[in-house]
Chain A
Amino acid sequence: MSVSTSSPPSVRRHHWIVRLSHWATVIVLAGLIASGLQIYEAYARFGNRGGPYFVSPFDGAQFPHWTRLGGWLAGALNWHFALAWPLVAFGLLYVGYLVRSGEWRALLFRPRDVPGAIEMTKYYLHLRREHPPQGKHNPLQKLAYTGVIGLGTLAVLTGFAIYKPTQLAWLTALFGGFQAARYWHFWIVWIFVGFTIMHVILVFVVDPASLRAMLTGLYRGRFPSHD
């Protein structure tokens, strides 16, 4: 581990498609969440009129003005339905790239990653001194990134279930009905927010060089190997 003083090797890490879809998703998702919070204001609970209502800590809550986009319900809906397109487009572009390039192998969490994930957890809990060896991503990263792709898919599907509960009644029923689909759609937001906070903290605490890699594509940090 003496490499840190000399200049670390520079490796090509992220294809431009990955970088583009990453940052585009950051912006689009911010807009979707902000307009979503404005939409939520119009009926700030979950359940048919007259109840019963789903248990929610945000029951009747109004989110601060600065977190909301659209000004009023119609404005927010138009933002939300406009931004949903690029979210789907960049999501498909990204997943399409992962599949075509074979990069999915470095990212998809599989059963064989479980022991490694346990070792990484031990490391983070200070039960293990040495950082376990890893490829492009460690097993916990794989778990998080695989999970967030699944989360994005769920966000889009629950979104469609709310958007067209009659024409796509089968999809709405799959999520437990219109109000349940709204409920899950809303919770997905907070999982996204939690993911993002952890993601940003870990970038700066564990591997700041990965930020530049996501901007320029070149990585000069602690974990230069690739699976």
Chain B
Amino acid sequence: MTERRTPRRHDPTLHDLDRRGFVRLGVVAGVGTLAAACGWDGGRLLRPGLLDISRVNDWVGEQILFSPTRLAPTYTTAQRSAMLPSYFISTMTPMLDDPAAWRLRVDGSVAQPLELSLDDLMRLPRVSYTVKHHCVEGWSAIASWHGVPVSAIVERCRPLKAARYISFASFDAGYSNGWDLASAMHPQTILAYGMNDNPLPAAHGAPLRLYSPTKLGYKLTKYLVSMTFTDTRPGGYWEDQGYPWFGGI
């Protein structure tokens, strides 16, 4: 902009490239400033492109950086954080009217659909670990989680060949998440019914939530009601609003 305000003597031999460079720079800087000034998420023009790149980043995270066997670092119970915030979509903490009637529904592309009570789940293999929770917002906190590996459920419901994804649904105002099968089969991906040596608190998704130290917090569906195996990539509450779908860390 200063360029336009300051008149310059025109000397084609010296200034042509110089000037063109300045104009180019000015245009790009102008667009950048405008973007910054508007708090831009890309607008109608750029947002689709940004989301496409986010899918490329998902692919890199899923196909290159994710390891189905590498375990997240674990901590001692003494290292647990004093607090771990909990988020839900409903205006009040979602709670069941009749907890005894609750069942986890396992359906979709499976050979053996299941209906599992909390007692059924507790009779299955149990995994306990103390890990760091990573929120997409940038905070982290250490806590212990107790539950049944998703792989144990997969073993019992026997997904069909076509099933490549799982959609986890909740009774928290329709909150849900879509997962790739490889992340779900990770040995540290569990359906947690306990936290810090206690039953899972209502604020953290009672009676059952998905947990894994390989994903950001928003991928860890609380207040579970069902897991549905599917051959198409399921969306999710935050994923559909622009957060990375894979959400792997």
Contact = CB atoms under 8 A, between A and B. Distances in A.
B214 interface: yes
A60 to B, nearest CB: 13
Nearest to A33: B36
B59 interface: no
B143 to A, nearest CB: 10
A117 to B, nearest CB: 31
A42 B243 CA distance: 14
B249 A75 contact: no
Interface in A47-72: 48-51, 65-72
B138 A40 contact: yes
Interface residues of B, number: 54
Given A42-B138, A43-B135, A166-B249, A31 B54 contact: no
A86 to B, nearest CB: 10
Interface of B: 17-18, 21-22, 25, 28-29, 32, 35-42, 47, 49-51, 53-54, 57, 61, 65-67, 70, 72-73, 81-85, 132, 134-142, 213-214, 238, 241-244, 248-249
A23 B41 CA distance: 23
Given A23-B25, A167-B65, A167-B66, A75 B17 contact: no
Contact of A79 (B37, B50, B70): B50
A85 interface: yes
4 nearest A-B pairs in the assembled complex, by CB-CB distance: A75-B41, A50-B82, A43-B138, A42-B137
A212 interface: yes
Interface of A: 23, 27, 30-31, 34, 38-40, 42-43, 48-51, 65-79, 81-82, 85, 163-169, 173, 178-179, 182, 212, 215-216
Contacts of B51: 78
Contacts, number: 139
A31 B32 contact: yes
B246 to A, nearest CB: 11
Contacts of B32: 27, 30-31
Contact of A74 (B25, B142, B243): B243
A81 B138 contact: no
Given A178-B140, A182-B138, A49 B72 contact: no
Contact of A43 (B49, B67, B137, B248): B137
B83 A50 contact: yes
B248 A167 contact: yes
B41 A74 contact: yes
Contacts of A38: 39
Contact of A212 (B18, B41, B134): B18
Contacts of A82: 49-50, 53-54, 57
A70 B41 contact: yes
A69 B35 contact: yes
B103 to A, nearest CB: 31
Contacts of B249: 163-167
B42 A78 contact: yes
A75 B242 contact: yes
Contact of B141 (A48, A72, A85, A169): A48
Contact of B248 (A75, A164, A178): A164
21 contacts: A27-B29, A30-B36, A50-B83, A69-B40, A70-B39, A72-B41, A73-B136, A74-B241, A75-B41, A76-B41, A79-B50, A81-B57, A81-B244, A82-B50, A164-B65, A164-B248, A166-B248, A166-B249, A178-B134, A178-B140, A179-B140
Contact of A49 (B37, B57, B67, B139): B139
Nearest to A167: B65
A85 B238 CA distance: 24
A21 B63 CA distance: 29
Contact of B72 (A67, A169, A182): A169
A54 to B, nearest CB: 13
Contacts of A69: 35-36, 39-40
B82 A51 contact: yes
Contacts of B49: 82
Contacts of B73: 166, 169, 173
